[in-house]
Chains A and B, each alone.
Chain A
Amino acid sequence: MPQRVITASVGVAGLVVIGLGVASATVWKADDVLVATAPAGSAIVTTAPGVLELGGDPVTVRATTAGGAPVVLAVGRENDVTSWVGTDAHDEVTGLSGWHDLAVDRVKAGEPTAAPSSDASPNASASPKGSASPKASASAKASPSASAASEASDDASTADDPTDSDLWVAQATGKGSAQLVWPAQDGRWSLIAVGTGDAAPVLQMSWPRVVTTPWLWPLVVLGTLMVLVAGALLGRDLYRRRTGTQDPEWHDVTTGTIALVGENGAPLTRRQLREAELARSGRPRTGSVPRVEAPTSGSTPAVEAAREQTTTGAVPSSATSSSATSSSAAAASAAGGVDRASQVAPAGPPRARDDQPGAGSAPTAPPASSPASAPTAAIPTTRRALRTGAIPTVAAGTPTRPDDARPAASGPDGWSGTASDAASGLPGDQQPPTSARRTVSAPGWLSGAGRRPVEPPTQTPTGAGAPDISSAQTAAIPATGWTPVPSTTPGTPGVQGPTSTQGPTSTQGPTNAGAPGAPGATRAPGGAPAADAGRATHRPAWLAPGAPTPAPGEARPTAGEQSTTDAPTGQAASRADAWRRAWGLPAQPDDPPADQDGSTTEVDR
């Protein structure tokens, strides 16, 4: 939600930015025309030089008088204007006091504004000073105040008519109003407006302005980008919702899983998964089952088988990994990595429970282990196995895994560790069971490989407490557990005998074993047929393997139980199945059930 809110706010901000950009070019755009006015004051209004060209070119001057009194507008040289005005009271516009107001300097009558220049006829120098006259007038204001005051009263009196004076270069007259357009020219020009009637003119000057809108496009572009980004994010969000890929957390987990797997050959995993599926479809190959048996007989052989199956020769490890992968892959194939995890988790937990209980229920574990082993076996065998239905073989191969598993064990992936354990376990039956536990935990592998080793044991117990959850956590381990699978295998050996038996049958069986936990659930779903079962089984197998390392000790006891345990696990699996259904994924649970039920049967498949 916060993301969505943020995204939405970004989008809104983008719209706002666009709005601001547009507004800057429209609402807030400076006027095309600068219009400033001076209030009516004296009958004579003049402008200082430069005022006419103040705001642009040309200037349009408009003078209006109340009551339609005649008014004259004229432009002349600055000196001519000031000379014409002479000592009369007048208003001088000196500039702008604001964007719409003209600054007016009120000059009282009798002040020497223009007088000096006109009077001092001989002084050529005096005339230029005309420009400075305004200042002089300012200073002079104080002294002649008396006379000025008296004359000031005459301000409103009618002024001489400057109309048609030879001094003007431009002129406009009118009654009530007059308008004059003055294109800028070189020199110092002044305007004079005279209300020749009783009314003083109101002066209005307007200039065209070159208005730029520098903010328009930058803001619009920026805003658009923001909106697009927000839109894209929202769109993606919605898309995810629909497709169900929405929950990022899941993704993360999945990725982690993959990564983990990757170490052992994650990429393979998917392929393996596919292959596994193919294998399932081609179950007939299950004929491999026989192989399984063979492997079962000896872990080593199994390994070999695994190797064989696994393309990799040296591979024990690889095989293991592959097997693990395969197993995982199987699970994966069943559902998205995530799903798998989830599935596995559930499956795992049950097992765990089983295991724990298994202590007592050893049987459960065993089955798990066995299946686990089987899956493990399958893992190494993975591709081939899967294809071949070697999974069972895997079980046999499980031993192989152990090798791999051990290394893995050292590694983050409980796998290797587990495997080692498993391997070690292999010898002892107990370990195998552990593996089973691991398997349980296996679901957890998704969570984290590192945990696996340690967790497995813990998990196992936990699993007992909170089957599902623990399993989930455990699951992380289980991932590691994969390796365990091998252990399982070992377990298998002990149990294996049986497992193997099952194994072969259950190549899937192992899967089933994983499934076992699920089985119950699976069954419940019932829907998920063999395929799912197979996957499920694989998973369990995984789990089993993952769990192995830590589990070993615990597992051992479980091992025996495992088989028994499976059933419960199966139930847990059922919940997991629910998830899958929700996802529209093939129900692994079914598989598990199948495993359980038909563990044998399906496995046989």
Chain B
Amino acid sequence: MRRRPFALTGSAVVVVLALAACAPAVPTPAPAPAPVVAPAALTPGQSSRVLEDLGTVLAAADKKLDEDLLAPRVEEPALSMRGAEYLRADATDGDRAPTTLPTTAAATIVPRTQDWPRTQLVVTEQPADLQAPRILVLRQDDPRSQYKLWGWSRLLPSISMPRTAKPEVGSPVVAPDSDELTVSPQDAIDQYADVLTKGKKSSHDDAFEPNASRDEIEALRARNEKAVKGSGTYDESYTPEGDPVVSLGTIDGGAIVVGQLTALAKTTLTLDGATVPISDKFYQALSGKKTAKKSFVRTSTDIVVLYVPRKGSDEKMSVLAFESVITAAKAS
């Protein structure tokens, strides 16, 4: 009789095991295949979050005109530019307020990359004061960094932005030395710097469509030259700062190239006894002087956004946006 219990337990065990055998196997990860093409570096959500955060930071800093508050979301050269504007605003008691920087995106050009640094361009809505829309250049230098405002530029009048890919898809990143364009991004920036420096004497003068910012620059130069004439000289030079920060391909095969130029406007007094009064409080604040006896050097940080057509195109390069902020002045 003792056997029965054993038999029962035995059969029970068998049944249990049989039922247990019916249990499904442990699931294993089945990830989506690795993308052939890198996805957009930022999702629209991430982009808007970055902008929102940026707006918050700018608002806080603008309110106190405190450059230090910009650190979390603003980096060079924008940091210097914004700092100069704060200084200017402070020097002029708010008469010349910092450039309005909307943080609401009208369009976003997202790089399609998995590498760093990553740079995205944001075309903002038109500011409330009906100024030209801005192009914000947001850049993430490394994985553990945040996207920060690298620079901004303002769209030139009567230009149209080339069509770019949807932000969900992302735009291809064009290498600085790419040969798929009429001119490599690097060369494009160099050439435009040359044009701005030399004007119509530049060999690349006809490589660029005429644009309002260049006209303005030349007009200002002519006026300054005229003012100094007889007592000194006036020179302007534009120098590209390193490689273009970013080049993002457009749908038509061209590229939007963003570069930084450093402009030096140097007034040299050749006439003895002549002085240049520094009436502008901003300049006074920058240079710390009210008059310049020998020379007065004004440094601008310029952000230029070019459109470079694809190779073989008959189009000329054009300037989409240009922004120049005087970041330094030196009187001697």
**Most central of B27, B38, B113, B114 by chain A CB within 10 Å:** B114
Contact B29 A128 (CB under 8 A): no
Asked if A124 is at the interface of the complex by the 8 Å CB criterion, the answer is yes
A20 touches B143 (CB 8 A): no
Which of A50, A51, A121 has a CB less than 8 Å from the CB of B116?
A121
- Assess whether A166 is in contact with B114, with CB atoms less than 8 Å apart: no
A166 and B115 in contact, given A28-B19, A80-B143, A127-B38 (Cβ under 8 angstroms): no
Within 8 Å of chain A (Cβ to Cβ): is B279?
A: no
Answer yes or no: A398 CB below 8 A from chain B CBs. Answer: no
Given the contacts A83-B143, A118-B143, A51 and B113 also touching, CB distance less than 8 Å: no
**Chain B 188-229 interface mask (CB, 8 Å, partner A; 1/0):** 000000000000000000000000000000000000000000
Could you give, for residues 2-38 of chain A, a 1 whenever the CB lies within 8 Å of some chain B CB and a 0 otherwise?
A: 0000000000000000001000100010100010000
Q: Which A residue's beta carbon lies closest to that of B72?
A: A164
- The reply to whether A166 and B31 form a contact with Cβ atoms under 8 Å apart is no
Judge whether A24 and B144 touch: CB under 8 Å.
no
Q: How many residues of B contact A (CB 8 A)?
A: 37
Q: Which of B45-53, B101-109, B127-135, B307-315 contacts A (4 or more CB under 8 A)?
A: B45-53
Q: Measured between alpha carbons, how far is A50 from B45 in the docked complex, in Å?
A: 22
Taking a contact as CB atoms closer than 8 A, the residue among B36, B114, B116, B146 that contacts A165 in the complex is B146
User: Shortest CB–CB separation between residue A334 and chain B, in angstroms?
Assistant: 48
Q: Is the CB of A121 within 8 A of B115?
A: yes
Query: A28-B19, A165-B146, A166-B140 given as contacts; is B36 within 8 A of A128 (CB)?
Result: yes
With A and B bound together, what is the CA distance between A79 and B118 in angstroms?
13
Interface residues on A, range: 35 or more
Asked if A86 and B143 sit within 8 Å, CB to CB, the answer is yes
Interface centre among A30, A84, A127 (most CB of B within 10 A): A127
Instruction: Scan A87-124; emit 1 where CB is below 8 A from any B CB, else 0.
Output: 00000001110110000000000000010011011111
Residue ID in chain A nearest B112 by CB atoms: A124
CB-CB under 8 A for A84 and B143, given A50-B30, A117-B115, A169-B45: yes
Main secondary structure of the interface of A (DSSP, over half): loop
In the bound complex, residues from chain A placing their C-beta under 8 Å from that of B116 are 83, 118, 121
A124: which B residues are within 8 A, CB to CB? Answer: 38, 113-115, 173
CA distance A145 to B255 in the complex (A): 45
Give residues of chain B (16-34) contacting chain A, Cβ–Cβ below 8 Å. Answer: 19-20, 22-24, 26-32, 34
Interface bits A562-602 vs B (CB < 8 Å: 1, else 0): 00000000000000000000000000000000000000000
A79 & B27 in contact (Cβ 8 Å cutoff):
no
Given known A-B contacts A166-B146, A188-B34, A120 and B115 have beta carbons under 8 A apart = yes
| Complex-state Cα separation, A575 to B316, whole angstroms | 134
- Please give me the residue from chain B that is nearest to A94 by CB atom: B29
- Assess whether B27 is in contact with A169, with CB atoms less than 8 Å apart: no
- Complex interface: chain B residues within 8 A of A166 (CB): 42, 46, 49-50, 140, 146-147
Instruction: Report 14 cross-chain contacts, Cβ distance below 8 Å, ordered by A residue.
Output: A48-B29, A49-B32, A50-B29, A54-B28, A80-B143, A83-B114, A96-B26, A96-B28, A117-B115, A118-B115, A128-B36, A130-B114, A164-B146, A188-B32
Q: List A residues at the B interface (Cβ < 8 Å).
A: 20, 24, 28, 30, 34, 48-51, 53-55, 77-80, 83-84, 86, 94-96, 98-99, 114, 117-118, 120-124, 126-128, 130-131, 160, 162, 164-167, 169, 186-188, 214-215
7 A-B pairs with least C-beta separation: A127-B114, A50-B31, A50-B29, A49-B31, A83-B143, A121-B115, A131-B34
